[in-house]
Chain A
């Protein structure tokens, strides 16, 4: 494998990754990220930029570390015992792993949608209103109402639930629950949305709706999506990064990755021979 040396922002990056890990207008720059679970290394020296208002998908076989890498961006790995993150992740010129950084505003800026729809066992309204409430984004009830309405509208759920905002969020169907979770994430006006296999628990119709929604949201947010479905990656994302055994093997424009992958492993995965 070729070792490439880039010189960017006066920083020497040593990476084995094929393709261009940089973008012109990076929202997040991650450099030499290593993640350990106790002694086991889950992420090995990954560097990747994410630009604003792009959709990038992380693909790779199970256990390749794509979800772990995703959870580095909003420091969700902090909640896991024995998880240690090394390296440098900068969001808007701010090192998010700097000791002085508070995770609360960070997570308000970076929303997250999980694999399994996980609405709070509260009403639909309260699910969406919770984030704005704890961050103090609305000073009046009317403001909060409009945040909830807009979030649900942007998540494509408003027409389905506007008459039953007070009924429990857990009573919705799986696809609706996932859209409710997306509404909950965008209600705090984030700049980036992380999605960890958001459609893996959903049927094809619900998946199609979520994908359509991701497409819409991509106009306003940076979206990093982890997915097992290569078709999904091909459908929704502009760039694709292929992970294997904790390493970022190849990154590039989705079209290019799926048609002319440079790396043999990437090609093998995409053509269905591994994973």
Chain B
């Protein structure tokens, strides 16, 4: 009986303290374990990120530069401008190529047909166009002999970067010994220099990596995103306002809500198929144009915008609604005078995040033909175009060595754009945010 009673008495204070203290150690150990697991997870994630960035930048930064050769070209008026009217027609039919090659021959002195053939491989095929363009822009150059820098062919560029090794057997090399000899001569004469590429930002799609650039894809991306924004922002925000502020809460709105949430999780390629079937199949719109691409991305972005806008609207404190209704504001006035001004930062953030996702999207655009090889820079949303991620996808597929660097360079440009857009989102949010 007395034993039984003892069980019911409270523990001695000192003993309790001891037990608590021993427990504390155990508990603290658990805390430390959990903390270190978390830190390890963050470390792994960060190291992947660092690895990704290092590899992209290591390849991509050299992609922004390339080797050039400077040659003294005699801009002979008769041969450059056979018709003599300085029209583009005349200039492009002129013999710019011969003049450039003559300037090159003067430096390296090729002997015979074979050596001349090898010498022709040194310069980019773009050299003659460059001369014609220079003259077109500044006709006063005609008749003068001036130094002009030309891009070297991508194989020579690869060789100068060390991607093509001198000690590889000649039969396995993309350039033969004669060409290497000529390049050595040019290097010795200090005519070759390595500088920021003229083409990566202002060039358009090309099979020759030394003159390929992202301008066409960049403008295509901007046009596509423009269409996407014009379509998805008003519709998305209007849907959110209606669903949050005006729609009755019944089965129909519930079904709509579930469907919107489901749409946000639909794989993007499905939207591409939808666009292909409806815009191109039913409405007969042309393929590869930013208008269709933007509409497809717009539909894809809609759920994101609707969901984030609704969240922003419902985050407005109900006391503000009470205040507005209390002084007799109608539903519309309450919405437009009080709720939307408070919700707009959230709406914009959601929209820009949705647009950033659309900017990086490739799959749906492949479905509607924006993967075509398009050299011309698009001037309107109705002209065929491609977009940055698709350009990256295409370059990654090309065999030439220099496209490896170009792919990473284009990725950097895409990342810069994404960071800019997110920066704008943060700026707008901070600027428009009002505290209450």
Contacts and interface: CB of A to CB of B under 8 A. Distances in A.
B342 interface: yes
A14 B338 CA distance: 43
Contacts of B55: none
Contacts of A42: none
Interface string B423-436: 00000000000111
Given A79-B321, A120-B338, A112 B435 contact: no
Interface of B: 249, 317, 319-330, 333, 337-338, 342, 434-436
A134 B324 CA distance: 10
B431 to A, nearest CB: 15
Contacts of B324: 120
Contacts of A104: 328-330
Nearest to A128: B327
A259 B325 CA distance: 38
Nearest to B248: A81
Contact of A114 (B326, B330, B338, B435): B326
Contact of B436 (A81, A170, A187): A170
Contacts of B249: 81
A138 B319 CA distance: 26
Interface of A: 74, 76, 79, 81, 103-108, 111-114, 116, 118-121, 130-131, 134-135, 170, 181, 184-185, 187-188
B337 A121 contact: no
A59 to B, nearest CB: 22
Contacts of A81: 249
B325 A76 contact: yes
28 contacts: A74-B326, A76-B322, A79-B325, A103-B325, A103-B328, A104-B328, A107-B328, A108-B328, A111-B327, A112-B322, A114-B322, A118-B320, A118-B322, A118-B323, A120-B320, A120-B338, A121-B342, A121-B434, A130-B337, A131-B327, A131-B328, A134-B327, A134-B330, A135-B328, A170-B435, A184-B323, A184-B327, A188-B327
A119 B324 CA distance: 9
Of residues B319, B320, B321, B325, which shows the largest number of chain A Cβ atoms within 10 Å of its Cβ? B325
A108 B330 CA distance: 11
Contacts of A185: 326-327
A105 B328 contact: yes
Nearest to B329: A134
Given A130-B337, A134-B333, A170-B436, A112 B342 contact: no
Nearest to A80: B318
Q: 5 tightest CB-CB pairs across the interface, nearest first?
A: A107-B328, A118-B319, A131-B327, A108-B328, A112-B326
Contacts of B325: 76, 79, 103, 107
A94 to B, nearest CB: 16
Contacts of B319: 114, 116, 118
Contacts of B435: 121, 170
Contacts of A111: 326-327
A25 B327 CA distance: 26
B346 to A, nearest CB: 15
A267 B317 CA distance: 38
Contacts of A181: 323
A118 B328 CA distance: 15
A119 B323 contact: yes
Of residues B320, B323, B333, which shows the largest number of chain A Cβ atoms within 10 Å of its Cβ? B323
Contacts of A188: 327-328
A114 B325 CA distance: 12
Contacts of A74: 326
A135 B329 CA distance: 8
B366 to A, nearest CB: 45
Given A81-B249, A107-B328, A120-B323, 20 more contacts: A74-B326, A76-B325, A79-B322, A79-B325, A104-B329, A106-B328, A107-B325, A108-B328, A111-B326, A112-B322, A114-B319, A120-B324, A121-B342, A130-B329, A130-B337, A134-B328, A134-B333, A170-B435, A185-B327, A188-B328
Nearest to B436: A121
A187 B322 CA distance: 17
Nearest to A121: B436
Contacts of B328: 103-108, 131, 134-135, 188
Nearest to A106: B328
Contacts of A184: 323, 327
Nearest to A109: B328
Nearest to B341: A121
B8 to A, nearest CB: 37
Nearest to B330: A104
A74 B327 CA distance: 10
Nearest to A115: B319
B326 A107 contact: yes
B168 to A, nearest CB: 71
B250 to A, nearest CB: 11
Contacts of A103: 325, 328
A112 B319 CA distance: 12
Contacts of A134: 327-330, 333, 337
Contacts of B327: 107-108, 111, 130-131, 134, 184-185, 187-188
A108 B326 CA distance: 8
